[in-house]
């Protein structure tokens, strides 16, 4: 399993890092078999797995079930557990919740933005932290690209340097201009993982349901569908239905 140090070494060697989300045992097994470097159990599971509109709809109880399943399915892969909305509302709450993930086998935790004193406290307890900057789905008013104005770009860049200085080993950069992703990647020691952050980040992450074509919704502009699992699955179910309905 890749450690935060291994991942940072990959950055310095210019080797790209492939992260994908997965939420359950079977898909974690597939991701591990495919050789992904890191699996993110994202709170996007609120949308993809549970059908909620917002990631704010879920909490620790749901996340723990999915993180445990992924850790069982991919015991040799670095699993990043996403802190759900308000689970990191203050340093002690964040630490207690992060420990619940680490006890299940997660290798690190991810949190959105820079909640007051939280990253400092987690790092003081040696919890490996992946930051998340740019578009922050838990609190965003809309899903438009962030960092388009000079002021917004500067704020994201400053936040990236700040979390780097606090010892985050990795930072997810979501839906920001390519040039900003490149600038930040060159300026920080931590590994940058883009999702709509352009091609210059140290690695990329995609939501599994987008990458595998598991739904029929319009993809976000930065996502690629590598296989049409919705069609494959529907076809398989149809074949099953037909086989059952054949008259003996
Ligand atoms: O929850 C998630 O899937 C994420 C990715 C969008 C990075 O945070």
What Å distances lie between residue 235 and 210, 211, 215, 232, 239, CA to CA? 19, 19, 14, 5, 6
Residue 220's pLDDT is 92
Residue 193's pLDDT is 98
* H-only helix segments in the chain: 4-12, 25-34, 45-48, 60-73, 91-104, 118-124, 150-165, 178-187, 208-211, 229-245
Quote the CA–CA distance of 165 and 120 in Å, as a whole number.
Answer: 10
Q: 201 and 176 in contact (C-beta within 8 Å)?
A: no
Q: Is 106 in the pocket of ligand 1 (CB under 6 A)?
A: no
Q: Is 112 in the pocket of ligand 1 (CB under 6 A)?
A: no
Residue 89: exposure state from Cβ atoms within 10 A (0-12, 13-18, ≥19)? middle
pLDDT of the chain, 248 residues: tens digit per residue: 999 999 999 999 999 999 999 999 999 999 999 999 999 999 999 999 999 999 999 999 999 999 999 999 999 999 999 999 999 999 999 999 999 999 999 999 999 999 999 999 999 999 999 999 999 999 999 999 999 999 999 999 999 999 999 999 999 999 999 999 999 999 999 999 999 999 999 999 999 999 999 999 999 999 999 999 999 999 999 999 999 999 88
DSSP letter assigned to residue 56 = G
Residue 234, beta-bridge partner list: none
Residue 33's pLDDT is 98
Q: Is 42 in the pocket of ligand 1 (CB under 6 A)?
A: yes
Nearest CA residue ID for atom 3, ligand 1:
42
Residue 26's pLDDT is 98
Ligand 1 closest atom vs CA 55: 1
207 CB-near residues (< 8 Å, 6+ apart): 21, 42, 44, 48, 195, 223
Domain extents in the chain: 4-245
- Of 23, 171, 205, 221, best ligand 1 pocket probe by most atoms within 8 Å of the beta carbon: 205
Pick the CATH number of 4-245 from 3.20.20.60, 3.20.20.70, 3.30.450.20, 3.40.50.300: 3.20.20.60
Backbone angles phi, psi at 161, to 5 degrees: -70, -35
Q: What is the dihedral of CA 211, 214, 215, 220, to 10 degrees?
A: -10
Residue 234's pLDDT is 98
Q: Given 32, 157, 170, 174, which residue is catalytic?
A: 174
Q: Is 205 in the pocket of ligand 1 (CB under 6 A)?
A: yes
Residue 138's pLDDT is 97
Residue 177's pLDDT is 98
Active site residue 174: yes
Residue showing tokens 């931590």: 190
Residue showing tokens 């965003």: 140
Ligand 1 closest atom vs CA 44: 1
Quote the CA–CA distance of 160 and 95 in Å, as a whole number.
Answer: 21
Neighbour-count burial for 118-141, b at 16+ CB within 10 Å, e otherwise: bbebbbeeebbbbbbbbbbbbebe
């Amino acid at each position: 399993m890749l450690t935060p140090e291994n991942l940072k070494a990959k950055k310095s060697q210019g080797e790209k890092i492939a992260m994908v989300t997965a939420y359950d045992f079977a898909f974690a097994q597939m991701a591990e078999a495919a050789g992904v470097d890191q699996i993110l159990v994202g709170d996007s599971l609120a949308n993809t797995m549970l059908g909620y509109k917002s990631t704010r709809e879920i909490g620790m109880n749901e996340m723990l079930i999915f993180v445990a399943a992924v850790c069982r399915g991919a015991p040799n892969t670095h699993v990043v557990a996403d802190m759900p909305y308000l689970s990191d509302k203050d340093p002690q709450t964040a630490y207690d919740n992060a420990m619940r993930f680490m006890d299940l086998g997660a290798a690190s935790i991810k949190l959105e933005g820079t909640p007051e004193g939280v990253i400092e406290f987690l790092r003081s307890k040696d919890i490996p932290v992946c930051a998340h900057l740019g578009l922050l789905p838990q609190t965003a008013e809309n899903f438009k690209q962030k960092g388009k104005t000079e002021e917004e770009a500067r704020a994201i860049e400053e936040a990236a340097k700040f979390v780097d200085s606090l010892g985050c080993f990795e930072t997810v950069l979501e839906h920001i201009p390519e040039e900003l992703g490149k600038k930040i990647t060159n300026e920080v020691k931590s590994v940058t993982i883009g999702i709509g952050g352009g091609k210059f980040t140290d690695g990329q992450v995609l939501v599994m349901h987008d990458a595998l074509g598991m739904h029929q919704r319009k993809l976000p502009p930065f996502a690629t569908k590598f296989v049409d699992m919705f069609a494959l699955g529907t076809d398989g179910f149809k074949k099953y239905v037909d086989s059952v309905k054949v008259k003996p």
